[in-house]
Amino acid sequence: MRRVVVTGLGIVTPLGCDIDAAWKRLLAGERGVAAPQRLGPHGPPTRAVGEIAPEVVAALRAEAAEGAGPDAARLVDPRTLFALAASRRALAHAGLEAGNHPRAGVMLGAGPGASRIEDVARCLDADGRFDAVRFAGQLKDLEQESILRAPAEQPAACVASRYGIGGPVHAVTTACSASNQALGMAWRSVRSGETDWVLAGGSDSQINPLGMVFFVLLGASAQVDDDDPASACRPFDRRRSGLVMGEGAGVVVLESLDHARARGATILAEVAGYGASLDAFRTTAPPPDGRGAEEAMRYALEDGAVSPADVAFVNAHGTGTKRNDPAEITAIKAVLGEHAATVAVSSSKGAFGHLLSAAAGVAFCCCVKAVQEDAVPPTANLEHPDRGCDVDLVPGRGRALPVRAALNNSFAFGGQNACIVVKKYTAEEDA
């Protein structure tokens, strides 16, 4: 089996689209959650979001339009736009360019796409029923962001087309664990020799009319103080009330060590192991003992032959929901045992919001920065750790900490759990 290393990072987040600048802001305790801008004037029930600012979206659109071919019309879809922007940054970071890459792949987590209620509203008959014939006659008027124009595989396909990637190109659709599963799938592909490198991670945006009521309908949305929307998401805090939706992308270049060395690439970190599990418990809640999360973490450590003693940082899924947070801490303690007392555990969802299918892609970039720079990011908005959440949750600001290995956790509605292990790259292991 080949060793797999990280050679490029690319992000689009509410804290910026430059990995170094966003990382500094995250360490400083800044937050990108705010009142909604794009849909704010219409009074959505979701009053805090981790949104990419409209001027940033415009800039990314202009950037993506350079050299756009037949995919130009698809840039309206935010997921596709963010995936292209993050991929562009990851490739540039890795020193790779567009070309003919038959042994490269793209594996991206993506949300289901946007069902647009405006499309339905245009096709009601006099009695308020959906009129299929009218719908068929108005296809040209369908919203450009509609799931019917922009299905889940579109971001990965557009990235592959733009950069000449000809190996496996797939969309992982396991919601909030999708990016980690895409990273795991990519790691396995590179490790086995199927590919030399893969653009992996995820991209998502549900800041659209139905997306803005998605978690409200499910009762999972955080209560928001309109005077302080940035504090709405409070992972591991006693006062946590739910999650705050965000949007963005996190894409990295995973590459075989041999390939990276042969082209003189800078190696940022190594991917050591990956594990996935299913809760098989309830659709919208984890088991209180966190057994599914525990199994995913345990498999990842075993897969990478990484000892719990080597883990210094856990980038927690930490959604800020009542049930997820304590279950995850229980799982972390079960996996790391006595070492859990010395491990830094933080969630970036208070700062970014929950980037859904992109969440673990951005979190993975944070893990790479943590092992590169020996620093851990904070858990924003954490003031009063909940009972049972008695580990080092890094409140306030980030801090320096030697990090040999980090775990990246992600868990989804539906019960899909995934964990990936990032560790410092050392050339000696290859000898």
What is the per-residue burial (b if ≥16 Cβ within 10 Å, else e) of 291-317?
A: bbbbbbbbbbbebbebebebbbbbbbb
The residue among 112 and 396 lying less far from other proteins, judged by its C-beta, is: 112
Cα dihedral sign, 93-95-101-103:
negative
Half-sphere exposure (CA, 13 Å, Cβ side) for 41? 1
- The active-site residue out of 93, 158, 170, 176 is 176
- In the residue annotation, 317 being an active-site residue is answered as yes
> Least separation, in Å, of the C-beta of 42 and other proteins?
4
What is the closest distance, in whole angstroms, from the C-beta atom of residue 363 to other proteins in the complex? 18
* Residue 389 annotated as catalytic: no
- Which residue, 101 or 369, has its beta carbon nearer to other proteins? 101
Q: Name the residue nearer to other proteins (CB basis): 131 or 373.
A: 131
- Nearer CB in complex with other proteins: 303/392: 303
Least distance to other proteins, CB of residue 200, Å: 13
Catalytic residue among 93, 101, 170, 317: 317
Euclidean distance between CA atoms 10 and 18, whole angstroms: 7
What three-state secondary structure class fits 107? strand
Is 354 assigned a catalytic role? yes
Which residue, 241, 245, 254, is CA-closest to 204? 245
The residue among 86, 92, 12, 27 whose CA lies nearest residue 370 is: 27
CB of 132 to other proteins, least distance (A): 4
Residue with tokens 């060793």: 3
Contact 343, 391 (CB under 8 A): yes
Local structure of 148: helix, strand or coil: coil
Q: Which residues contact 127 (CB under 8 A, 6 or more apart)?
A: none
The alpha carbon of residue 79 and the mean position of all alpha carbons in its chain are separated, in whole angstroms, by 12
- The strand pair at 248-256 and 197-204 is best described as antiparallel
**Closest separation between CB of residue 66 and other proteins, Å?**
20
How would DSSP label each residue in 241-268? --B-BB-EEEEEEEEEHHHHHHTTPPP-
One of 354, 365, 366, 367 is an active-site residue; which one? 354
CB of 316 to other proteins, least distance (A): 21
Catalytic positions are 176, 317, 354
